[in-house]
Amino acid sequence: MSSAVHESANLENWLWLGLQIRCALLPNEPRLIDHYLAEGRYLARFTPTSPNSVAHGTFRLLLETALDQALPWHWRSLCLDQAWRPLRDLRNCAAHPAHIRQWQDCAHQLACCELLPSIPLTDLLQGYCDE
């Protein structure tokens, strides 16, 4: 298998895992986050994909998922609990002043993050209340 095809398959798998996390498609499967993080580490280490972009993308995905009130509370909490891992990776690959500022911005966002309660399932239902 050529290198480009191999990278493409890994990138596609990483993106698919990210979509499953972001949409909470398997909210009772916490190992999904571990698989996503492992796939990102593989991409950053063994493919031309930038470690900084993998770490930043992973951090953003976990933080945005944690802040999404439409998702189950336990899933959001788990994503927030794991956001330090890509933040650490982001710090480790911050060699340029722009990357250091990016890491500082992300660290500040994580430090100031406040999880609001999830929206109850009944409030998420669409339609009129007399239907």
**How far apart are alpha carbons 15 and 38 in whole angstroms?**
12
Q: Which tens digit of pLDDT belongs to each residue from 52-65? A: 999 999 999 999 99
Q: Say which residue the tokens 């798998």 belong to.
A: 13
What is the residue extent of each domain of the chain? 3-119
Q: Place 8 in a pLDDT band, splitting at 50, 70 and 90.
A: confident
**How far apart are alpha carbons 102 and 73 in whole angstroms?**
28
**Model's pTM, two decimal places?**
0.88
Question: Do residues 78 and 32 lie in contact, with contact meaning Cβ atoms separated by under 8 Å?
Answer: no
Q: Place 127 in a pLDDT band, splitting at 50, 70 and 90.
A: low
Q: What is the b/e burial string over 93-102, where b = at least 16 CB atoms within 10 angstroms of the residue's CB?
A: bbeeeebeeb
DSSP code, position 116: P
Q: Which tens digit of pLDDT belongs to each residue from 79-107? A: 999 999 999 999 999 989 999 999 999 99
